[in-house]
Amino acid sequence: MLVTGGAGFIGTNFVHFTLAERPDVEVSVLDKLTYAGNLMSLADVADRINLVVGDVADAAVVNPLVAAADVVVHFAAESHNDNSLNDPSPFVHSNLVGTFTLLEAVRRYGVRYHHISTDEVYGDLALDDPAKFTPNTAYNPSSPYSSTKAGSDLLVRAWVRSFGIAATISNCSNNYGAYQHIEKFIPRQITNLIDGVKPKLYGAGTNIRDWIHVQDHNRGIWAIIDKGRIGETYLIGADCELNNREVVEVILELMGHHPSDYEHVSDRPGHDRRYAIDASKLRAETGWEPMFRDFKSGLANTIEWYRANEQWWRPQKAAVEANYAAKGQ
List active site positions. 119-120, 145
CB atoms within 10 A of CB 195: 11
d(CA 193, CA 94): 33
d(CA 241, CA 238): 9
d(CA 10, CA 6): 8
SS3 45: helix
Q: Is 128 exposed, middle or buried (CB count within 10 Å of its CB: 0-12, 13-18, 19+)?
A: exposed
At CA 119, angle to CA 116 and CA 120, rounded to 5? 110
Selection from 34, 38, 36, 80 nearest residue 57 by Cα: 34
Residue 276, amino acid: A
Q: Output the DSSP codes for 156-180.
A: HHHHHHHH---EEEEEE-EEESTT-
**Complete edge-to-edge strand list for the sheet that includes strand 174-176:** 174-176, 208-213, 241-243
Phi, psi values for residue 132, rounded to 5°: -130, 160
Selection from 110, 96, 237, 95 nearest residue 167 by Cα: 110
Question: 174-176 and 208-213: which strand pairing?
Answer: parallel
In degrees to the nearest 10, what's the CA dihedral of 113, 116, 119, 123?
-80
Question: 263-265 and 233-236: which strand pairing?
Answer: unpaired
Residue 318, amino acid: A
According to DSSP, the residues that pair with 174 across neighbouring strands are 211
